[in-house]
Structure 1
Amino acid sequence: MNSVVYTRLTDNLHMLQYRDYETKYFEGLWHIPEGVTYNSFVLETNEGLVVFDTWKRSLGKLYVDEFSKHFDVKDIKYLVTHHMEPDHSGSIPYLLASNPNMIVLGHVLSKGMIESFYQVKPGFNAVKDGETLKLGGFTIKFIHTPWLHWPETIMSYIEEEGALLTCDAFGSYGIPSKAYYDELSPEERTGFTRYMAKYFANIIGHFRDWVVKNVEKLSQLNMKISTILPAHGVLYRGGDVAGVVEKYKRLGVGEPISGKTVIVYSSMYGFVEDIVNLMIEHLEKNNIKPVIHGFTDKKWSDISEIIADVYQAENLIIATATYEAKTFPIMKHVSELIIEKTPVNKNILIIALYGWGGKAGSELEELFTRHGFRNLDVIEFRAGQHQAVWGQLKDRLSKIVRGNG
């Protein structure tokens, strides 16, 4: 597998892409067996090069080596940092070591981060929102897009190329076989639609209100965007530009997939799993096929996939064991991530089982209610009594069944 890919996108615009098959947990948190890419872009002008973002910190030397196969580092006039997270800014000190005369452009907040993160003090120009740079026949417009997903995030629009460079926004997990979405097979396109939704839920979801604000801001700038070039994943051009913007808007507003039902459960000794199996059977008889994620003594579901599924769910069922008179620990952790990362517009059913004392149900109810989730039902009962409460539980499930009908 070739980890480094150079692509000439146009006569003057290039991409240096690192395909990361090694990172298993993005940000040390999100499991990504599908891998991830770091996309750095280079604009070639007759007055020098403009570099947009780099690769992650551990790849700094490799980045300069690969860059030097196609360009002269000494020709870099400007380095634009859209976002200071080290998976994009990590190679900055390596470039500066080879060309200390380049000027770094970014949000005013980025200067302090560069100096702190990398112990360097480059020539730095803070760009204002809407400011333009003219260089070698090209016009670059800088757009402040805060909280996508750090406060200093900006984008760049290269007018003559019709290219919007968006850093994390419109990005995805996954390692595409080709540069552009329209070059992928139908199966791979489906995969990348999922990877984008998963990346959004994991990384951007907490700031979804800012997605709506910033997408609206971009739409009002009357830019003639022909390509969207994110710093992770696949690129978009032509008719796919409007499509990916629409997908992003839907994710930003938290639009659920109609009828999508997700069950997340923990079961220590099989009692919770018994009730989950009864619910699955009942829902499937009513033409609802729930997405199941479980934590048992034999399997653990992938938390990054749970957050991706719950993000777009209309209905969420949380079934948990009680542990030391509290919510089972992994379910408490998953619930807190759901609260932090996903919209509140869900029907939630909480089912809590206990042995010698019930507490988990009320604890989760208070937790979700405190954070704005309003459509909640709670059933709590002693393990082994699932047949006795099944009628009551079916009544609670009827809300899901009616909604799907």
Structure 2
Amino acid sequence: MNNPLTVKINDHLTYIGVNDRYTHLFEGMWPLPDGISYNSYLLDGKDQVCLLDCVKIPSVDEFLENIYSVLGDRDIDYVVVNHMEPDHTSSLPVLVERFPNIKIIGNKKTKDFLDHFYDLTENILVVKDGEEVAIGNTSLTFYTTPMVHWPESMVAFEKSTGTLFSQDAFGGYGTLDGAIFDDEINFDFYKDETIRYYTNIVGKYSGQVVRALDKLKDLDIKTICPDHGIVWRKNPGIIVDLYAKLAKQETENGVLVVYGSMYGHTEKMAEMIARSMAEEGISNIRIRNISEYPLSNLIAESWRYRGILLGCPTYNVGLFPPMANFVATLTKQKMKNHTLGYFSSYSWGGGAEKEFAAFAEKCGWDLLETTPNVQGSPKKEDIEECMKLGREMAAALKEAYPDQYK
């Protein structure tokens, strides 16, 4: 049966993934305005067939239709579980029911998860790091990539075609809207969502990503097949380079100003600080209202820019609650290579400034000297303090990026 939604990648590999336009929050918290894809692949080794990763259970009917349209009445010999997260495995019990002779390939940690998640304990082939498994007239070699981004995570490599099945690595948010391959799309259209995906899902494990990239660097990779997003068959180096940059936390010249404000006083401070930076020649400035701008996007932009300025009023002797949540998130993200400034306001008693100071000590970023803390509406001397903070940030950026200010 001809199914245009299954796409040939090469003579023996077919894309059989699905698009998810029904889930609004990935992992229950990250917005999906453009949806997401769950990628799955059928590898035909003539005598044997191997499925690489599955899809989320609500899409199982479409998934099975794709499988049968490619296989007909043939059986599936193996299914590789590169990553146990349910968006890739919740349809696995249905697959095992439909193909009772199928063997599940995973590592030792995968086997434990299969039992606890789905009560699957039979027909499991446990592979070790670097182990090769024959799939008919081809083979797959498995490499463990722990904490990219679960402990059992691994990738599979088909040497004969140079195809890397990379699970969540090299993926991104967004459905595949007609196009499947990198040479069929304008990557600039997808890039921001790829960066947001990395910073939201994988970012806190960047040390492990660096180690995984180093482990895979000697493979002759010609095609990358991730579990989300674009299949890279023409220029896989683009996504590898982007992930390497993100993992090394190479920040850009620019400033993210994140503020919270109940009655406009802290917002005025943010505007003044931004104006003073612009007067000093800083052109990349983003101001975000923490009460309105999604946390997911704030994380991505924090990862991107060298300068981070945080400001909010005192609320119940502490940080304004949305800012407190953001600061806690930044602490967990373990970001590096930033210059930090903070500013605060209060009505009758402070507290926010103390929690900002504690965060500054914990995160270890370069801290600017001036820390305005204003009672009520900013007065003349407060305005000068805010402008001074902006000038200090501008000076720090000029020192960090001297070639861009000649």
Provide TM-score, normalisation by structure 2: 0.92
> Alignment partner for residue 235 of structure 1, among 222, 231, 234?
231
Match of 2:247 in 1: 252
Once the two structures are superposed, the pairs formed by residues 19-34 of structure 1 within 5 Å of their partners are: 19-34=19-34
2:383 to 355, 371, 390: 390
2:339 to 344, 347, 351: 347
Q: Would the aligned equivalents of 1:52 and 1:81 in 2 still touch at CA under 8 Å?
A: yes
- Aligned residue identity for 1:358: G
Alignment partners' CA distance in 2, 1:368 and 1:201: 21
Distance 1:199 1:235 in 2: 16
The corresponding residue for 1:141 is 141
Q: Deviations over 1:325-351 (max 9, x none)?
A: 110111111111122225132111111
In structure 2, the residue matched to 1:330 is 322
Q: Could you tell me which of 279, 290, 295 is aligned with 1:295? A: 290
Tell me how far apart the structure 2 counterparts of residues 63 and 279 of structure 1 sit (CA, whole Å): 52
The aligned runs of 1:179-328 (5 Å cut-off) are 179-185=180-186, 189-219=187-217, 222-238=218-234, 240-257=235-252, 259-285=253-279, 286-296=281-291, 300-328=292-320
**Cα distance change on mapping 1:269 and 1:235 into 2, 3 Å:** same
| SS, match of residue 151 in structure 1 | coil
Letter in 2 for 1:232: H
Name the structure 2 match of 1:65: 65
CA contact (8 A) 2:107 2:152 kept: yes
Matched residue SS, 2:166: strand
8 Å contact kept, 2:54–2:88: yes
CA contact (8 A) 1:61 1:94 kept: no
Secondary structure of 2:298's counterpart equals: helix
CA 1:197–1:212 in 2, change beyond 3 Å: closer, same or farther?
Answer: same
What is the distance in 1 between the residues matched to 2:368 and 2:18? 44
In 2, Cα distance between equivalents of 1:183 and 1:100:
37
Shift in alpha-carbon separation, 1:25–1:129, aligned structure 2, 3 A: same
Distance in 1 between residues matched to 2:378 and 2:276, nearest whole Å: 18
Partner of 1:42: 42
Preserved CA contact (<8 Å) 1:283 1:289 = no
Q: Deviations over 1:226-269 (max 9, x none)?
A: 1011110111123x212221111111010001x22101111111
Q: Percent identity?
A: 26
- CA distance 1:38–1:295, change in 2 (3 Å): same
**How far 1:73 moved relative to its partner?**
7.1
- Residue 369 of structure 1: how far off its partner (Å): 1.7
Q: CA deviation at 1:72?
A: 4.5
Distance, in Å, in 2 between the alignment partners of 1:204 and 1:368 is 23
How far apart are the structure 1 equivalents of 2:183 and 2:136?
30
Letter in 2 for 1:59: S
Between the aligned partners of 1:368 and 1:68, the Cα distance in structure 2 is 56
Tell me how many residue pairs correspond in the alignment. 393
Distance in 2, matches of 1:43 and 1:99, equals 16
Q: Output the amino acid matched with 2:245.
A: R
Question: 2:401: which partner in 1?
Answer: none
Note the residue ranges of structure 2 that are not aligned, 5 or more in a row.
399-404
- Report the secondary structure of 1:343's partner residue: coil
2-structure distance, mates of 1:326, 1:287: 31
State the one-letter code of the partner of 2:256.
V
Taking the aligned partners of 1:373 and 1:58, their CA distance within structure 2 comes to 43
- Over 3 Å counting, the alpha-carbon distance change for 1:94 and 1:74 in structure 2 is farther
RMSD: 1.8
- The gaps in structure 1 that reach 5 residues or longer are none
- How far does residue 99 in structure 1 lie from its aligned partner after superposition? 1.3
Of residues 381-390 and 138-147 in structure 1, the stretch that sits farther from structure 2 once superposed is 381-390
Deviates most, 222-231 or 283-292: 283-292
Mapped partners of 1:382, 1:231: distance in 2: 51
Partner of residue 17, structure 2: 17
1:285-340 CA deviation, whole Å, 9 max, x = no partner? 324231121035xxx11111111100111000111121111101111111111222
- The residue that corresponds to 1:171 in the other structure is 171
Kindly indicate whether the alpha-carbon contact (under 8 Å) linking 1:31 and 1:303 is maintained by their aligned counterparts in 2: no
